[in-house]
Amino acid sequence: MSASDQVYEHVRERILDGAISAGELITEGQFVEATGLSRTPVREAFLRLEAEGWLKLYPKRGALVVPVQPEEKEQVLEARQLIETHAMTTIAASASAAENVSRRLREITDQTREAMEADDIATFTTLDAEFHLVLVNASGNDILSDIYRGLRDRLRRMTTRSVWHDKTRMEAIVKDHGDLAEIVARRDVAAFSARLIDHMRSTHDKAHSR
């Protein structure tokens, strides 16, 4: 991994886990000091993060961490609803597939509960994203899986914001995931779609209205 890639991953991860807040102004100097690298790879990483929409650069001032916009949130949730419901429809066609997926979802839910109890938000949000990706991957549609992976960072960032605003949301998310895993085992597509909508809205609407 190049020096620029190292800085890129370091800054992006800190945005994703909430260590750097949306709307915060950061500087190249901060990350020269934090990483021990020279200013050139830090500048290259900042430019890449700006191109991907994570930062907005202001010459001689620093870089603003770009907040998730309301329209982006709505687009992410709409895409998730379409993709995950389609995946559930495919899974529900096979009793063995539904049972296998449900078992794996319950395992991830248990791990997510452990992260919640340890107050480990970074691990919690990573597992939250993995829970939903497992479901999509089980559809067997590689194109949909690739599209969903493209949403994963946005999803994780949105979830981080939600639980930072209200850590009781972590417990609610764990319960929601348990409910979804049970519904998968029952192969009830309509119930899954309705529960998924409730889950997404209760997780994200409150935080993004502030």
Taking only the tens place, the pLDDT of each residue in 3-55 is 999 999 999 988 988 888 889 999 999 999 988 999 999 999 999 999 988 99
pTM, entire model: 0.80
At 210 the pLDDT is 41
Q: HSE on the CB side for 137, CA within 13 Å?
A: 13
CATH of domain 70-208: 1.20.120.530
Band (pLDDT 50/70/90 cuts) for residue 75 is very high
Q: Which residue has the tokens 């078992």?
A: 103
Angle at the Cα of 148 from the Cα atoms of 172 and 72, rounded to 5 degrees: 75
Domain positions in the chain are 3-65, 70-208
**Which pLDDT band holds residue 206 (cuts at 50, 70, 90)?**
low
- Cα dist. 31→6, 8, 9, 125 in Å? 11, 10, 12, 24
Q: Are 163 and 154 in contact (CB under 8 A)?
A: no
The residue whose two tokens read 């970074």 is 122
The pLDDT, as a whole number, for residue 144 is 94
Query: Domain 3-65: which CATH class?
Result: mainly alpha
Please tell me which residue, 134 or 156, carries the higher pLDDT value.
Answer: 134
Cα torsion angle, 164, 36, 9, 117, sign: negative
pLDDT tens for residues 125-135?
A: 999 999 999 99
Q: What is the reported pLDDT for 122?
A: 86
How much is the mean pLDDT over the chain?
92
Residue 208 pLDDT greater than 60, yes or no: no
